[in-house]
Structure 1
Amino acid sequence: MATRTEARAMRERRDAPRPFAARRSRMARAEVRLLLTSTRFVASLFWLTIVVATMLFVLPYSERNTSPVFPWFVAVSVAVYLGHRFFPYEGYHPWAFSLLLLATDALVAMMVYLTGGSRSALSLLFITVIIFSSAYFDLLETMLFTAVTCAIYFAPYLYEQMDFGTLKEMAMSVPVYFLIALSGFFVISKAREQEREKKELSDIIARADRKNRELSALYAASIRFATTLDTEEIVAVLEEKAGELVPADAMLVCLDEGGGVLKPRSPQNLDDAEALLLPPPESNPLYVAASAVLPVTISRTDEDPRFHAYMRAAGYASMICVPLFASSSVIGVLACLSRMEEAYDDDDARVLLTLASEAALALEKAGLYRTTLEDKNKIETIINSLADALLVLDGEGRVVLANPSASRLFGMRTAFPGETIEEALKRADGEVVFRDPGMEEALRLVLHRGQAVKNDMALQAENTIYFQVMWLPLRDSTGAVVGAVVILHDVTDFVELDRMKSNFISMVSHELKTPLTSIKGFVRLLDAGRVGPVNEKQRRYLEIVLQQTESLTKIIEDLLDLSRIEAGIIEVRREKVDLRSLAEGVLAGLENMSREKEVGMYLEIPEGLPPVAGDPERIRQVLTNLVHNALKFTPSGGEVRVRAREREGECLVEVADTGIGISPQDLPRVFDKFYQVDSSTTRQQSGTGLGLSISRELVAAQGGRMWVHSEKGVGSTFAFTLPLWASLEAREGVGERSGTPPSEWKSGVQGA
């Protein structure tokens, strides 16, 4: 522990910012103190030997051994010996060392005096004092003390009569002493510099060696973290490498199990790891490190008042806690404990923090992998248990996944790599036919435009199976389409129900039409007075009966048209039609309704509009439905406009009104069979909800299409197209498309 403390102290002194000269001076003094400390015994023995030899072999023969200086000599000798033996060289005490050197100078002067004065050779011992001063002091202090020594050098000769030659020889010794002081200072300074550089080099090598061990341990840990996704193994590697990097008598890794609650994992040399987590978070270094996202270092038990009780209960002298910080949060804490004080410092915190960061990323990666694997298993379970067939396609339309339902449906054991959906469907037990849109168009829309598509499919075999197909785009993190999911929902039962319903409607309509025809005939006979006179009241009642009979007949005709459309047997003639005259007839037939509702009707069809190709009766039926609806839903004071114009080889017809409009949520369903907008206004109007559905199918049967634009409270515009007679003549000879669905198609898939 002492060695570690000294090393830390030296590191702090070395790294502390201070001026270069001051740092060099302090370092030199520290080195000299160590030098003098190591030679303490030699110096004290040297002076003891000189004094004893002088007393034994010189003083008995000296004429001055009875001088009163002798007792002082003995006392100063003892003081000098004790001073050199016990001087505190570990610190820097310039005044105390100056007194010691002055005492030594006095001792040498007494020895010179007692041993003959100018005839004594012991004056050379003054050189020893000068060398000691140059070793301890800086240059200026050394020169000053050399001057003091030279002054004391002349003290023993003050009681003698000396000639000029002797004085000159003594005076010449003074510059020699100064040269010796300078030489000693520079020699010792050079020795000090070499020693300092050697020590710095040794420290650098030691630090480099430590850094090398740290980097090797961190590199080995990162390699092992990168090759495993097991949490327990990651924790074991973390503890192993932490033990290599810092001294630890015990170790603990705690992971956040959710809600900020830490749970111990694989404790090392701890009998009760749970006990370390019991204290409240504010006095528990594990929780403090996790919440502050900073290392917590406890060097001594009494260092931090917050952790006094915790460290005493744990039974360890020092502790370091490092958070495991992943991408955005702390997922755990690493704790190392030691029974030795001052076991951990900032360097330990730094290297452990690096190791903990690597471990945290590995733990996060393992957690993500585990979550992904769980999600994958859930998704696979859901996909495999789906009753609907499901196919996953890549960006090129190749099948990459087919669930068991799809494999059973199409007789596929597996989807081969690189196999397109067309190739996969060819192995189905029957002919596969797509409708509205076709398979190629659906693939183009979903893969190239990223649109979700819904269409219908029939698997024509011994028993035809009908499907509603959903094509959904798959996107990556940037939003780019990388594939598609195809879901096939079996609607065969719905198709059969719809077919039965259509057959029932057709049968009932036919059965109702015959008695209604008879009723209409007899009512007209009564109204004509064929069976007797009819008064005005009776005539009014007969007119009401006739009107209601006509309404019922219209409903029956709509139902029959619907059944014919769904059966695919509706008759549509192809003739040259003057659309303007036809539209004039339609408006004339609805003139009474227009006057009753006080709604204006306007025809905006140019005189020279080219004739269209179609069935005039069916076109009249479509126009009548649209204008009738427009009048029905337009309040008094509004207007209805019928427009037509040529556009790109076809005729565009529009019926616009200023009525109540249609809300955005109802727009997609206005052409559905039996659908009526759910509002108080529409509920007040009569109707079956078949007119628009039949109109769209009649337009489609004549080679056109129908759509609507509407704004709630502003009005609606129903538009449809019809081929021009000239354009149709130019295209004559073009055959029908192959792969026409069976007759059951229309009666089934549409209804479903």
Structure 2
Amino acid sequence: MTEIPDYPDPRAHRLREERRILRNLNRIIASSLISEVFEGISGELKKLIDFDRMSITVLTEQKDQFELVALAKDYGLTKFAPQRYPVKEGTVLKRIIDTGRPVFIKETEKSRFLPQAHSGLLKAGIQSGLSCPLKYKGEVIGAINFGSRKANNFSRKHLRLLRRITNQLAVAVENSRLFNKIREEQERYKKLFDYAKEAIFILEAQGGYIIEANHQAVNDLGYSQRELLGASLLELCSSLERATLIQVLQEVLEKETSHTFDSSFLRKDGTFIVFEMTLSVVEYGGKKAIQGIARDVTEKRKREQEKEVIGNISKIIASSLDIRSVYKAISIELNRILDFDRMDIALPDESGEKIELFALAKDYDFTVLREGGYLPREFTAIGVVLDTHKPIIVRDTEEGRFLEDDKLFAEGIRSYLDFPLEYKGYTIGALNFGSKKVNNFSEKQFDLLEQISNHLAVAIENTKLFNKIKEEGAKYERLFENASNPIFILDPSTGQILNINHQAELTFGYAMEELLEMNILKLSLKEEQASMINLIQEALQSGSSKTARSKLTRKDGTCCTVEIHVSESEYGGKRVIQLVMQDITEQEHLEQIRRDLTSMIVHDLKNPLGTLIGTLEVFLEERAGPVNGMQQQLLKTALNSSVNLLNMITDLLDIHKMEEGNLRVEREFVAFPQLIEAAVEQVKFFQQAKAITLKREGTENLPMIFVDPEKITRVLVNLLNNAVKYTPERGQVCITTSVNSAELIVRVQDSGPGIPSEYLDKIFDKFVQFEPRQAGRAASTGLGLAFCKLVIKAHKGKIWAESTPNQGSSFIFTLPFVSQ
């Protein structure tokens, strides 16, 4: 039997070869990064697929750009630059993103994809191509692309092979991207670590030894990088705070939590820096370590301490008005933020020629410049501070520039700083610091000392003011007790009597103990209690004093009339009401007698005076027979004088009625120019007798005014009479009217001698005359202006006077408009 030769099965051989190549591919892909194994991949695939070009494109996370991360080719025309390109519509990659399927290009020239996308391939002779998607967790992340110089070189048989490697290739691409991202993050962290504004330390978990420190740590501590590495952070920490740092390190390691705290660390130059440090557990080189992030808060903590000290000093100062009693406490607080061995306050004496060492604090025994001692102002540093209002630093007392330098040098004080104490723009003294060190003070301390000196200056002035107030208080107590008027101090909320003076006891007949148990209303008549309450409330609400009359009862049951001045005051540090009373019982009795007498005289004069005026008018009208020219002139003079006298009597009666509230004001709408003309007619005789010019201005187009025409005419007559009376012969009187939106304004101006300024407010009071009677000038009763004031007030208007000596006077009044 002939044996059939054992020829190998070509198909089985090809499959075995594919499996071997695939195993190699998987090993290559898993062994390193995609960019480093791409040549191995392309070499193995070349054994299975005929291609001339192979590349891998990777999409960005947004899938709007791609990067050519690897390229293999066997020709030299195509250039590869690692950069990103946009994903455009109509391209092979866009189709793969949209469909997730491979794309065949049988003939590049006839491809339906963008021609410009293939122009480079055509130049390289690429006639056909195959692109397969790289998918990771179902998402297209890129593509593997093949090109051939042969047309129609790729078919679906290649997809079976490529599907078996694209999944692992996608994982390799994603791992490569992740690795690059981690590497970028590490580089970014390294940059952040090295150039962070905060100092960063990496410490060994045991012992706190520094294994890494950034540039800021080197700058803050002043050591070199080599000096810091291997040093223990515990050794750099202040000995007073080392135990706390050890405890924090242990807590952070055990609980693996972060901890923030403040601690002082020694710089290379011997000074200390205050770090606000946050410690936390990190992994470093595969081992557990501690990371410390430290921020320099030296200046911040210094400012906070200064702020605390200033606050404490304010509280100390507020606790007492005796500056000497709190001075030592102030110096202890200041020693927390200032290095000094001696501190004193210097104040000028009353003459200003000497300087008193007002208060002193020091840490040594012997001193020539002791508390209560004096220095001359001249040739001393303190004197210069007082004169220039500027601080002085003496850096070495051995130089002996000022008078006190030798004395301080003998005590061991080598440098000092004198700072002005300013109060409301004045230098009231100096705050002085001394040190046993040369050049211990600098201008950097001025801002702090300015704040302290302001508080201290206020305290000193408050002390002076307190002493002055004590003196004034004692003086007030003497005045209060010895005053000739009764004085009551009341609780403003209840009216309870808190204190009285001796005159209150004498006036009301009660002992002090009895009055202090009473309410002020118990002294008031029942019908006047409401008025008393209102008076006190008005004084409290307005903050100003109020005056009123009231009837009060004495212990014996009799009544007395008092004028009460009510004002707000302070008593025992509390708000109170003070009543100062004036007993006007006798005065009121006399006033009532005068009113009755005046009323009787006026009524008794008015009737015969009316008869006299009527008789004179009969003679002037020649009803009793003819009269010659001289007789007529004499009769006119008698008639005018009689009318003036009647007007005075009428004014007096009307003033009395107005004060009693019994005079009626009968208003009607009238044309104001008519009232002016009526008044001018009444003063015409006296005006013409002195050849005085009487001008009227602004009387045209005036609106109707709602007034009592008879009383306003009398006001005008009184003002014109006064103007004519005080204007010299051939002088001028002017009556001017004007209006604004709310009122009519009337001004009567004369060209007389004027009124002294001290009388401008008084001339509207009854019976006031500001100059003695002069020969040739009519006597004045002092009633006319009082009448004018009451009438204008009844019309809710205002009246006042203006005057310049030797330039005349003006009387102005206003009348408000009322709608018809």
TM-score normalised over the length of structure 2: 0.43
Is the strand fraction higher in 1 or 2?
Answer: 2
Higher normalized contact order (CA 8 Å, seq sep 6+, divided by chain length) = 1
